[in-house]
Each structure stands twice: as structure tokens, then as C-alpha cells.
Amino acid sequence: MDKEGLALKLLKLTEKTGYDIVQHNGQRRFGPPRDWTGPPPPKGCEIFIGRLPREVYEDELVPLFSKVGKIYEMRLMMDFSGSNRGYAFVTYTTQAEAAAAIRQLNGYEIRPGINIGVVMSVDNCRLFIGNIPPTRSKEEIYEELKSRVPGVVNVILYKNRFDRNTNRRFAFAEFSSHRAAAMARRALVPGNVKLWGQEVTVDWAEPEPHVDEDLMRNVKVLYARNFEIRTTPEAIKKIFESAINNKIERVKKIYDYAFIHFYDRKHAELAMAKLQNIEIDGSVIEICWAKPVDRELYKIQKLSRGNAKFNKSFDLNQTLLLYKQHLAKMEFDKGSKDEGIGSAYASESTCGSPLDTKPRQFINYDYPLAPRKLEAMCNRYSWLPPKYYFKKFLDINGAEWWVCSVELPLVGYPLFSAPKNIGPFTTRHCFSYQQAHVEAAETILHVLKCLNMDILQQAAIQPVYTPLVSPNCLSVPCNVYQTSTMQVPIQTIPTIWQPPA
């Protein structure tokens, strides 16, 4: 279609519908309605359309998707040649209309032999911010972000499990819209902006799974966080039963958070109202509803970042098919092993026992940032992946301690002209396998940063954490004895395809 013919068709479309069409930042927006009043449609009203032929435009798409319900806005991604980029987003006025569009138009044959894919869009409004000073409070982080970027509505900060006076050096910032989050992500590019005098890492947070509101009304499980490590499930159960003056089904506590199962929804509502922000063992507890989740669908969503993005390792046809199957069934696992999801990073420590050597244990997309960053750096420069060596000890009281030794074999360009080994370096004693893994990765990242600052000084560099055992032999201190040894290959994190926002 020539440009003049397309322009004429789009003009007729605007006259017929009363919607404006504006092209900006690589996308063409149709809508919103001129007579629209009030806030935009809520989250869950936007769908993603994939596999569009390059010559399909709004004059064909709007009538097709308007058959299902009223369109609030359509965003068609465009390239410099004037063709579309193969995908678009449509926002309906209600969540029911969006769900109906997925059911009716996913797989629609828009051209002979060409079927489009229609799935729910992951309308991500949350950013992950790493490398935050450990002494900063939630209020300080909120005020700092608010002074830098617009649209910040909330900050979620997790305290250190073992030192409640410090944070875990990362936070989540929630924004009023996906666009506001995208603009903030661009403004806070590492290297251009420093917060509190140091560089921070800013990226899309893992999108939380969308759960139908009708299903959430039937949830009888609460997610509570910020518990002290020493607080027992029995103590939590006693406090919650005392608040509602009734028995509760069970409590499952994992490190500093817990899932509380009730027999009756009204009991859960009463407990949340009475115990929100209560102090237990000196720590203020935050409570929200646990989200039931389809594990397979959640796994697919966790492989993506931002707004309806798909991983290259997944075939798009397969991904869309899985979305179709699970959204059509709308079945959520109610088994005893699945407590639900309280937060995007709530399940950080639930990857299984460290002694479980099955490969699935290590395919954990909730890993903190340091191991991911190290793997990505090795992939980028074609270095061999890091080697981690773990040892578990028991102290005289029977408590488990973990030590990790890590090395980078054959590190070459751009640090060295001839490949060299870096390491091994050994961490301090850690409370868990996961903590040892993260601290080992942080140690190597610190060493690489020092090398990058002055490549000429290639002398041995001390790691971030002073080793408590010898890096070469991992000798056991006098007050502990060795129980097991293992070498763990960490899986490579897949590359993510990220279409522009």
C-alpha cells in the first residue's frame, strides 16, 4: 500500500471512530477516546499481538479487535521504512474484554497461512534497583527516586535476614504506569546517574503473574514478611489464631517470610486487618494476599522482562500456544507444595536443598543479580563460565555453614591480551548455599572492577570478603568438621529479547 493511500485510510478511520492517531518514539498510538473521563483502564486490560504481517495497519486491526469490545488504545510498533515491526498492543476498557479477545482472536488467520498470536500483555510497572547502600531506609530511597524521576508511587525494600538494621542492597520501585517506569529506566542508566554517590543497577523487575480478580476473592492464604529468623512457625500460628479466635490450617515459614493458610476467607481478612504492621520479636510484619499461580505459566512469564517480551530460547509459536492453553484452562495449582506468590522475589530461597543434585535445582530465575551479572559478562566477552566449588560444614551446635570457592578460567580480552586465570577466591562462612553463591559472584565482580580500573596492576587482588579457609585446600577450622563436598555447574541465563517499550 502506498503512503498516500494509507494516510487516506487512517484519516477515514479517525473520522469514523473519533479517535486520534499520533506517531511518536517508534510507535503509532490510536486513541484514547476523546470523550474518556477518569483514570485509564486498570492493569489486565492490555493484550499483546504477535506475528503481524508487515503490511497490516490500524485500518484493518481496529475493526477486527473492536468486534470483541471497546478499544481504549492501540499501539502499533513502527520502523523507519513505514512498515510495522510485527507486533502491537491493544488496551480494552475492561479486563473481561481483554480476556475475550485472547480467546477469540488468538490464532486468527489474518492472511492466508498466517495466524496471529494474541496473549495477555505483562504490563510491568516495577523496576529493580540494585547496589543500594545497606543503611538506606525505604523512605530515603523513595524520596531520592522521587527527586530524580516522576511517577514513583511506592518502594518495596527487603531487610537483611540476618541483620534487621540493614537492607539487602536492592529494592523495587513501583510506578504509576509502564511508560513512567520505562522513562525512569532510561533516566537512571548506570554511568550517567549516581544515587548517594555510587552507581546503582536499574532494570525491569520480574513481572508478577496476573491473577483474575474473581479468583483472588476466594484466596484463603496470607503472605507475611519481615519475620526474624528465630521466629518459629508455631509462634506465628499462635499469634494469628489468637487474633481471629479460631484455628488456622497451617503455617509454612521460609527464612523471613511465611504463608498462613486459613480455613475461612473471613478469618484471613480479620487477621490481616488486626495484624497488619504488628511487631513480632522486634520486627514489623507486612501482610498481603498470596497469589495463586499456575506454575507453568509463571515459568514462561519469569523468562521474560518488561512488557510482553519473549525469550529467544522459546519458539514464539510454542510460547503463544502455552499461553493459550493455560489462559484457557485458568487452572491454578492448589497442591500442598505451592503456597502461592507474595512477591516477585519472595521465593529467592526456595530452590531446594543444596544437596539435591538434580539439574532442575539450579535453573532458578530468582537468583539475585550478582551471579546473573557475572554469567552475562562471561557470555559477552566469550570467557569460560565461572567455576563454583561448595563445601558444607556443621559447627559444634549442629548448625549448617557453607563456603564457596570461585574462579574464572582463561579470562582474556578486554582485560588481558593472553588469557589468564582469576582466582580461586573463597567466601566467608555463610548461612546458606544461596548466600555463599551470591557472595562468591560478588567477590569476582569486585576483582574484575578493580582490574578494569587499572589493568596494568595485575598483582593479586584481595577479595571483598576475607577468606576464613584456605582457597587452595579449603581446610576446616578447628571448631567445625567437614561433612560434604560438591562442585556445581551453574546454568547459563538465557538471552532475553526485548522489544522497545
Tell me the residue ranges of DSSP E strands in 290-437: 387-395, 400-411, 420-426
Q: Which of 86-95, 171-180, 303-312, 380-389 has the lowest mean pLDDT?
A: 303-312
CATH of domain 213-289: 3.30.70.330
Structural contact between residues 121 and 47, judged by C-beta atoms closer than 8 angstroms: yes
- Residue 306 confidence (pLDDT): 39
Cis status of the peptide bond prior to 424, with omega within 30 of 0: yes
Q: How far apart are CA 171 and CA 156, in angstroms?
A: 6
- Per residue in 390-432, pLDDT tens? 888 877 777 788 889 899 888 887 787 778 888 888 888 887 8
* Among 7-11, 211-215, 296-300, 328-332, the range of highest mean pLDDT: 7-11
- Please determine, for residue 359, whether its predicted confidence score (pLDDT) is greater than 50: no
Please indicate whether residue 284 or residue 319 has the higher confidence score (pLDDT).
284
- Residue 101 confidence (pLDDT): 94
Q: 126-204 domain in CATH 3.30.70.330?
A: yes
Tell me the residue ranges of DSSP E strands in 96-193: 109-111, 114-115, 117-120, 126-130, 152-159, 167-175
Which DSSP category does 466 fall into? P
Average pLDDT estimate for 330-343: 40
Cis status of the peptide bond prior to 471, with omega within 30 of 0: no
- Residue 209 confidence (pLDDT): 62
Structure-block grid coordinates of residue 90: 491493544
- Residue 200 confidence (pLDDT): 84
Q: Where are the domains of the chain?
A: 3-120, 126-204, 213-289, 359-488
- Residue 52 confidence (pLDDT): 93
Q: How far apart are CA 448 and CA 412, in angstroms?
A: 12
Average pLDDT estimate for 16-31: 89
- Please determine, for residue 220, whether its predicted confidence score (pLDDT) is greater than 70: yes
pLDDT class of 490 with cuts at 50, 70, 90: very low
CATH of domain 3-120: 3.30.70.330
pLDDT class of 463 with cuts at 50, 70, 90: very low
Please indicate whether residue 483 or residue 390 has the higher confidence score (pLDDT).
390
Q: Which of 191-200, 249-258, 450-459 has the lowest mean pLDDT?
A: 450-459
Average pLDDT estimate for 100-108: 93
- Per residue in 26-65, pLDDT tens? 889 999 999 898 888 887 889 999 999 999 999 999 999 9
Q: How far apart are CA 262 and CA 243, in angstroms?
A: 12
- Per residue in 190-214, pLDDT tens? 667 788 888 888 888 876 666 666 7
Asked whether the domain spanning 126-204 has the same topology as the one spanning 3-120, the reply is yes
Q: How far apart are CA 278 and CA 493, in angstroms?
A: 39
Q: What's the Rg (C-alpha) of the chain?
A: 26
Q: How far apart are CA 318 and CA 315, in angstroms?
A: 5
Q: How far apart are CA 420 and CA 31, in angstroms?
A: 57
Which DSSP category does 384 fall into? P
Tell me the residue ranges of DSSP E strands in 46-141: 46-50, 71-78, 84-92, 109-111, 114-115, 117-120, 126-130
